[in-house]
Structure 1
């Protein structure tokens, strides 16, 4: 029954209609309220629907009992469930994800899918910052709704600034990426600027999507979402060790990572393949 229903819901026209043509911000706020509700009358059916529709794997979760849907989304893993690739020159995946478009940034041009380019200086509001990665590397990492939603430092880093950019909340699944031009540049997002101990730069851009009630950054302030803190750039000087938690989404979404031209993505990356937090993804 589940497989048949999912085949119907994943038909491109129907999926796009259901996930993008309804009032996106209203739906996002509504899901956020439902997810935060701890009363069993709301929480139990919400959790049951999540497990039914989202292919949730809780085999490595710290607990499988949740008081709310939000608790399920932001669950922690049991100790040792993820190990991060060792070595100062190895860059790890910051999250569990499906690998999306990846490769060279071509003179400031990036692809959300084949044939759908966007400009890095549209995604990153600071043109000078975007120019530093204009011939670098990028990898798109999509977190599905059933995945582990926390993300971690891909290397030993010092976070130098975070810029919050308000925006829309289009779905970020492959169906929408093939239909909505410059989708990541339209959506709500954060730009995390960081460097490793040798001064090599890295950008992490968490992109919100429909039903993503918030992006929270552990190294800044987990009590308030980025949306509540308001738009703009916040300078900081925060050291995070490889594998340390950096934040979470309160639903599945996407992280786009950018590396300079001196780095290189691993040859084994394949679009559509799953990757786990901590697996090697690139080398300085």
Structure 2
């Protein structure tokens, strides 16, 4: 038992060093360039190498599998009907395929990235109004592994009139780093997407967080990618309407989305840390709205 724990500790140490004690921004820029090289032969070779580190990579649900580039694979669409959207009116669905990380009730304005590693909402979201809106609400951290489907979707019927982009670092957001780097999410590149719902007793906010090898988010309602090369305004006006389950954008590789909700919401029954969840499955329930 002691030997197994020692080996696990060594593995975590190596993982942390390989993914964080490196020139993160330079490597991320290189990966962005490399992933867009259009060569089916190079892509097939890259996928074989990728599978050595992501044995759970499953492309059976992909709309097509003849990828011209790694970027084409990372941002793959799924076959029609591959995901079922929970249509109940009082349900907020997961915006992405993910592993559930820390989740639960917000303690005033304090949230946890990992046990013993708290941060304040205001350190993640630079908007005083939003900070107070989610006081004593609830949150769910959704980690997209590199092997997962990377597109994200509207968790409710909603509209978006502004996206706030916050430039930052590109730390890995895997569990090893989350247990070692304080306020990691607050350090990384991220976007704040407040959702306006036509009929609701509360509100939802999505905070997609970029990471090493990623640091690039594409929102369909914006003309430019949000990445390390972006030099535009931090507050970007837009005008977009979505039905629950409709695609909003994608990550280039895999990362994290933190979902914030007001105090009328609760975690969906059975939802817990470490659980795998698919886009469209119940994430939160509105206690002030009845189900249809």
Aligned to 2:222: 220
* Counterpart for residue 117 of structure 1: 118
Question: Which residue number corresponds to residue 35 of structure 2?
Answer: 35
Residues 59-74 of structure 1 correspond to what in structure 2 (within 5 A)?
A: 59-74=60-75
Unaligned runs of 5+ in 2: 1-6, 287-292
Q: CA deviation at 1:38?
A: 0.9
SS at match of 2:139: strand
Q: C-alpha separation between the residues in 1 aligned to 2:99 and 2:10?
A: 17
Asked if 1 retains the 8 angstrom alpha-carbon contact of 2:105 and 2:136, the reply is yes
Per the TM alignment, residue 237 of structure 1 is displaced from its structure 2 partner at its CA by: 3.3
User: What secondary structure, in the 3-state scheme, does the structure 2 residue paired with 1:267 have?
Assistant: coil
Q: Which residue of 2 aligns with 1:12?
A: 12
8 Å contact kept, 2:86–2:281: yes
* 1:234-256 CA-partner distances (Å, limit 9, x unpaired): 23332100010011000110000
Contact 1:169 1:187 in 2 (8 A): yes
1:3 is aligned to: none
Paired position in structure 2 for 1:135: 136
Q: Is the 8 A contact 2:170 2:215 kept in 1?
A: no
Tell me, in whole angstroms, the C-alpha distance in 2 between the residues paired with 1:245 and 1:63: 18
Contact 1:34 1:42 in 2 (8 A): no
Cα pair distance change 1:9/1:56, threshold 3 Å: farther
2:4 corresponds in structure 1 to none
Contact 1:108 1:135 in 2 (8 A): yes
Q: Is the 8 A contact 1:153 1:242 kept in 2?
A: yes
Alignment counterpart, residue 250 of structure 1, candidates 236, 249, 252:
252
The Cα offsets for residues 218-274 of structure 1, whole Å up to 9 and x where unpaired, read as 1223xx212325341123332100010011000110000000001111131121111
Partners of 2:195 and 2:244 in 1: how far apart?
12
Q: Distance in 2 between matches of 1:154 and 1:88?
A: 11
1:201 aligns with 2:176: no
1:24 aligns with 2:13: no
Aligned-pair distance for 1:41?
Answer: 5.5
Aligned residue-pair number: 276
Partner of 2:289: none
SS of match in other structure, 1:12 = helix
Residues 163, 235 of structure 2: 8 Å contact kept: yes
| Runs of 4+ residues over 6 Å off in structure 1 | 7-10
Q: TM-score, normalised by structure 1?
A: 0.93
Contact 1:165–1:231 (CA under 8 A) maintained in structure 2: no
Question: d(CA) in 1 for partners of 2:73 and 2:238?
Answer: 30
Rounded Cα–Cα distance in structure 2 between residues aligned with 1:126 and 1:242 = 25
Question: Where do 5+ consecutive residues of structure 1 fail to align?
Answer: 1-6
- Secondary structure (helix, strand or coil) at the match of 1:47 reads helix
Deviating more after overlay: 193-202 vs 130-139: 193-202
Aligned equivalent of 1:4: none
Taking structure 2 as the reference length, the TM-score comes to 0.90
Which residue number in structure 1 is paired with residue 94 of structure 2? 93
CA RMSD of aligned residues (A): 1.7
Residues 134-185 of structure 1, C-alpha deviation per residue, up to 9 Å, x if partnerless?
2111000000000000000011011132100000000000000000000000
Post-superposition offset of 1:86? 0.8
